[in-house]
Chains A and B, each alone.
Chain A
C-alpha cells in the first residue's frame, strides 16, 4: 500500500516536444485516481513514467516513501494492465498469471496457490489451462487483471483497459474493476479518454489537456465546479452549453439582450463565457431565457432538445415524462446553474 506523489514532473521528448508540463499532485493511499483527457494530452505518458517505462525529464516521482525515478519498472512493485491485454500468447492463462511471480523467484507451490486464488476471484478457474486466443475479450481482460492481482503490488496502473471491449461488457468490467480495487484497497492510477468511466470509477479525477493539468478533484467537484471551459465541455454527457456573453454593470447579457439570471459578475467586465449544463435548465412559461428547439433526441430515460439560444447552439435535457415540441419555449434555471468563465483563457471566474 502506498501513496503516489509527483513533484514538478515534466516530460520532454528528444525532438523537443513537451508531452507533460511540470505537474504536481498526490494520490492518497488506497484511492483510485483517474487520469482523463483527449488523446495526446499526456495522460498515458504520465502513467508510463510512473511505471518506469518512460524516462522522467525533470521532477520526482515517489511511490510510498521511495523516490522511484531511477528504479527499474520491475523493482517498483507495481502491476500494470494494458489496453490490448498484453497477454503472452504462447502461455496458458495460469502461466500468464504466474509469470511475474516466477521471475521474482517465488516457489512453484506458492505461485499455483496465488494463481488459483486470483482465478477464483475473477471466475477464471475453468480457463486456467487455455491459451489467451481461446478466450473472449472480457475473459482476456480478466486474465490481465489476474496477472496484476497475484503480484500484490503497491500500485495498480491501468492504461485504458476497457477501450477494446464492447459497450455492455465495458459497463460490467468497470464495476468489477472498481469493486476489486475497493476490496484489495490498493492505490490505483487509471488512464481513460472516456469521461463516463472517469466519473463512475474515480475517487479523484485529474483532467489533462495538452500536457497540463486542467483540474484535480472528486467527480462531484469536477462536475459541479469545472475549473475551465475545457473541463466543463469535456466532463459530462451531453456536455455543458457554453455561450458567449458580455459582462458589465453587475450583470451578464447574452448577445440578443437577454439577461442571464443568477450570474454573479464579481466586478468583471467585458467578454465572458457562460456555462449551463443541459440538465440544469427546465422549460417554464415564466422562464427568463428564450430557447428555439430544432431537434428532439429520444434517449429513453430523458429527451434531449437541441436548438439555439441567443443565436448559439444550446441543448436541454428534460425527463421523459415532460412533453416537448420543436419551436420557441421559455427556460428557467435551477439554482446554481450558471458557471462563468473568462472568454479568452477559459478560466473559471469567481
Chain B
C-alpha cells in the first residue's frame, strides 16, 4: 500500500519534473530564437545583392539574389584586414590588462589587511556607477596632451580603465571565498607573494577570469564611440568604425555593411569559444563541489 502511494507519488513528481523541464526549454528556445534572429538575418542578407535584400529580406539567398558582392567589396575596398587586426589588438590587450590588473587589485583587497583597505575597494568599484563616456571630453584632452590621439594605445588605456571596476568587484568577491590555508601553505612552502598570486591564486580563479573576460570583451569589440573620437585615422580604425564607410549620407552599401558585420562576428565567436569551457565551469562552480 505504502509502496504504491510512494510509487505513484514518484510518478507524478516525475511527470511534473518533465513538464517543468519542457516549459523551461520552451522559454529558453524562444529566447534563443529571438536573440539569434537578427544575427541570422544579417548573415543571410550578407550573401545577397542589393535587389535581393530589399525584395525579399527574409528569403534564403538563391539563384539571382545570391551574390558575394558584399564580401568582395569588403575585401577589396577599404583596409579591412587592418581594421580587424586593430580590433583584435585593442580587445586582446585591454582584456589582458583588465584581467591582470583587476586580479592583482582584487587579490590585494581580499588578502591583505591594511589601512584604507575598504576605502580603496570602494574607490576602485565606484567606476561601475559612473559611465566612462561622461568623461569623454576630458579623456580626449588628456590624450591630446599625451600625444596619443590616433593610436591604439589610447583605446587600450580607456577600455582598461572602463573594464577594471567590474573586474575588481567580481574578482574580489570571489577571492574572499578562497581558503586562507592554501596561501599560508604556499608561504610555508617558500613562495614569494608574487608567486603565490601567479602560481596558486590565478589557477584557482581561472573560471572567474574567463567569466570576467567574456563580460568585458563584447562591449570593447562592439564599441563605436571611443574609436570614433580617439582613433578615427585610417591606420587605427577598428571594425565597427570601418563598417561606417559603407554607410554614406545618401546611399548605404547594405551588402558590404552586412558582409563586414558577418565577418566581425567570427573573432568574438572564436574568443568566446576559448573562454566558454571555463565560463561554464565558473557558473556551475558553486553548484557542483569540485
By a beta-carbon cutoff of 8 Å, the part of chain A in contact with chain B is 14, 48, 51-53, 72-75, 78-80, 82-90, 99-100, 103-104, 133, 159
Contact partner of B181 (CB less than 8 A), chosen from A14, A82, A99, A103, is: A82
B191: nearest chain-A partner, CB-CB = A103
Contacts A82-B181, A89-B290 given: A73-B187 contact, CB under 8 Å?
yes
Residues in A neighbouring B189, C-beta threshold 8 A: 74, 99-100, 103
4 closest cross-chain pairs (CB), A and B: A74-B190, A100-B189, A86-B181, A82-B181
Q: Are B179 and A86 in contact (CB under 8 A)?
A: yes
Measured between alpha carbons, how far is A51 from B203 in the docked complex, in Å?
Answer: 25
Main secondary structure of the interface of A (DSSP, over half): loop
Contacts A53-B184, A82-B185, A83-B181 given: A100-B190 contact, CB under 8 Å?
yes
Interface size class of B (residues with CB under 8 A): 10 to 19
Measured between alpha carbons, how far is A86 from B184 in the docked complex, in Å?
Answer: 9
- B265 interface residue per 8 A CB criterion: no
Measured between alpha carbons, how far is A88 from B182 in the docked complex, in Å?
Answer: 7
**B 243-284 contacts with A by CB, 8 A:** none
Measured between alpha carbons, how far is A79 from B189 in the docked complex, in Å?
Answer: 8
**B 72-129 contacts with A by CB, 8 A:** 113
Residues in A neighbouring B186, C-beta threshold 8 A: 88
Measured between alpha carbons, how far is A133 from B186 in the docked complex, in Å?
Answer: 19
Q: Are A82 and B184 in contact (CB under 8 A)?
A: yes
- B204 interface residue per 8 A CB criterion: yes
By a beta-carbon cutoff of 8 Å, the part of chain B in contact with chain A is 113, 179, 181-182, 184-191, 200, 203-204, 290
How close is B287's CB to chain A, nearest CB, in angstroms?
Answer: 15
Measured between alpha carbons, how far is A82 from B185 in the docked complex, in Å?
Answer: 8
B183: nearest chain-A partner, CB-CB = A86
Contact partner of B188 (CB less than 8 A), chosen from A83, A84, A100, is: A100
Measured between alpha carbons, how far is A133 from B288 in the docked complex, in Å?
Answer: 12
List 8 contacting pairs A-B, 8 Å CB cutoff, sorted by A.
A48-B184, A73-B187, A74-B190, A82-B181, A82-B184, A86-B182, A100-B188, A103-B189
Q: Are A53 and B187 in contact (CB under 8 A)?
A: yes
A48: nearest chain-B partner, CB-CB = B184
Q: Are A90 and B204 in contact (CB under 8 A)?
A: yes
Q: Are B188 and A74 in contact (CB under 8 A)?
A: yes
Q: Are A73 and B290 in contact (CB under 8 A)?
A: no
Measured between alpha carbons, how far is A79 from B187 in the docked complex, in Å?
Answer: 11
Q: Are B188 and A78 in contact (CB under 8 A)?
A: yes
Residues in A neighbouring B200, C-beta threshold 8 A: 88
How close is A156's CB to chain B, nearest CB, in angstroms?
Answer: 11
How close is A329's CB to chain B, nearest CB, in angstroms?
Answer: 45
A105: nearest chain-B partner, CB-CB = B190
B204: nearest chain-A partner, CB-CB = A89
Residues in B neighbouring A103, C-beta threshold 8 A: 189-191
Contacts A74-B189, A103-B189 given: A80-B184 contact, CB under 8 Å?
yes
Residues in A neighbouring B191, C-beta threshold 8 A: 74, 103
Residues in A neighbouring B188, C-beta threshold 8 A: 51-53, 73-74, 78-80, 100
How close is B286's CB to chain A, nearest CB, in angstroms?
Answer: 16
How close is B115's CB to chain A, nearest CB, in angstroms?
Answer: 9
Measured between alpha carbons, how far is A100 from B185 in the docked complex, in Å?
Answer: 9
Measured between alpha carbons, how far is A83 from B180 in the docked complex, in Å?
Answer: 11
A133: nearest chain-B partner, CB-CB = B290
Most chain A beta carbons < 10 A, residue from B185, B186, B204: B185
Residues in B neighbouring A51, C-beta threshold 8 A: 184, 188
Q: A51-B188, A83-B181 are in contact. List 10 more A-B contacts (CB 8 A).
A: A74-B188, A74-B190, A78-B188, A80-B184, A80-B185, A80-B188, A86-B182, A88-B182, A88-B200, A89-B290
B115: nearest chain-A partner, CB-CB = A14
Q: Are B187 and A84 in contact (CB under 8 A)?
A: no
Measured between alpha carbons, how far is A80 from B188 in the docked complex, in Å?
Answer: 7
Measured between alpha carbons, how far is A330 from B50 in the docked complex, in Å?
Answer: 108
A99: nearest chain-B partner, CB-CB = B189
Measured between alpha carbons, how far is A78 from B185 in the docked complex, in Å?
Answer: 11
How close is A150's CB to chain B, nearest CB, in angstroms?
Answer: 11
Measured between alpha carbons, how far is A53 from B200 in the docked complex, in Å?
Answer: 17
